[in-house]
Amino acid sequence: MVSVMLVTAGLMVSACAPTPSPQVTPDPTAAATPSASADSSTPEPTAQPGPVESFLAWIDASRAPDVEKACAGLTPELADRMIAEMNSSGPVHVTDCAGMITATAELYRALGQSAEVDVTVQEQTDSAATLFATYVDSGDCGTVVMERSASGWIINELSEECAA
């Protein structure tokens, strides 16, 4: 079960380097032209969290546990692999992602392990990120591979624990 927790934690540590905003050159004629929107108070669009923020949010959700949010942060292939690892390595057997997240959260709580993690972005593109995560208390580590989905950054099945 500890290896499942490490994989889970390792998967959650994802790269989140800020993506540079495109530079926009204002149209010189726009300043001279009155605009109705200049007087209105339209909200600024909010940026989606990057891979690091998404990984850290996943850790928080998995520890709460918020099973809906935590399971949504994993690809189905990764969730299946984690369930299989949990079932093969310990006394706890689960049938789905929600059960795995709940059991893992209870284990972390029982062991009193901190969720504090050091995350380093190893590589990041617009559609994928590779993070290296190390749990501060235990020293457990892993490579977290994230991909951008329609809903945001999620952890995929290429994530791996550090070799023991």
Residue 154 belongs to domain with CATH number: 3.10.450.50
In a domain, 133, yes or no: yes
Whether the full predicted model's pTM is greater than 0.75, yes or no, is no
In a domain, 73, yes or no: yes
In a domain, 7, yes or no: yes
8: nearest Cα among 90, 86, 111, 118? 86
Residue labelled with tokens 């504090």: 116
Instruction: Using DSSP, state whether 28 is helix, strand or coil.
Output: helix
Residue labelled with tokens 């530079």: 23
First to last CA, the chain: 14
Greatest alpha-carbon pair distance for the chain in Å reads 72
Parent domain of 82 = 2-17+50-161
Average pLDDT along the chain, 164 residues, taken 10 residues at a time: 39 33 36 42 70 98 97 98 94 96 95 93 98 94 97 97 81
For position 48, what pLDDT does the model report? Answer: 87
In a domain, 24, yes or no: no
For position 45, what pLDDT does the model report? Answer: 55
Query: What is the Cα–Cα distance from 56 to 78, expressed in whole angstroms?
Result: 17
How many domains would you assign to the chain?
A: 1
